[in-house]
Amino acid sequence: MSSRERDDAYTGDAMPDSDANKHEHGGLDQSALAHVMGYNLAQADIPARKIFFKHIGQPLKLRPVEFTILLLLMSNKDVTQKQLCQTLAVTAPNVTILLDRMQERGLVTRVRNETDRRSQHILLTEQGAALARQAHETSLTMENEPLRHLSAAERAMLIELLQKVARHRRV
Mean pLDDT rounded to a whole number for the chain: 87
Cα 160 to Cα 19: distance, rounded to the nearest angstrom: 30
Q: Which residues of 109-142 are buried (b: 16+ CB within 10 A; e: fewer)?
A: eeeeeeeeeeebbbebeeebbebbeebeeeeeeb
Same domain (yes/no): 13, 72: no
Instruction: Give residue 19's domain range.
Output: 1-35
pTM of the entire predicted model: 0.80
Domain shared by 124 and 95, yes or no: yes
CATH of the domain at 122: 1.10.10.10
Give me the amino acid identity at 115. Answer: T
Which tens digits make up the pLDDT trace of 59-68? 999 999 999 9
Q: How confident is the model at residue 53 (pLDDT cuts 50, 70, 90)?
A: very high
**Do 2 and 81 belong together in one domain?**
no
Co-location of 65 and 99 in the same domain: yes
Are 26 and 40 in a shared domain?
no
pLDDT in tens, 101-112: 999 999 999 999
Is the pLDDT score of 25 beyond 60? no
Closest among 102, 107, 82, 101 to 92, alpha carbons compared = 82
> Confidence class of residue 170 from pLDDT cuts 50, 70 and 90?
low
Residues 46 and 65 in one domain: yes
5 and 29 share a domain?
yes
Q: Are residues 40 and 19 in the same domain?
A: no
**Backbone φ and ψ of 153, nearest 5°:** -65, -40
Most confident of 11-15, 79-83, 164-168: 79-83
**pLDDT of res. 17:** 40
Cα–Cα dist 85/145, whole Å: 32
Q: Are residues 19 and 6 in the same domain?
A: yes
Whether residues 119 and 55 share a domain: the answer is yes
What is the model's pLDDT at position 139? 97
Mean of pLDDT values over 156-162: 95
- CA–CA separation, 102 and 6 (whole Å): 39
The verdict on 72 and 138 lying in the same domain is yes
Give tens-digit pLDDT for 86-98. Answer: 999 999 999 999 9
Instruction: Let me know whether 105 and 57 are in one domain.
Output: yes
Q: Which of 122, 118, 119 is nearest to 88 (CA)?
A: 122
What's the rounded mean pLDDT across residues 70-81?
A: 96
Helix (H) or strand (E) holding 74: helix 64-75
User: How many domains in the chain?
Assistant: 2
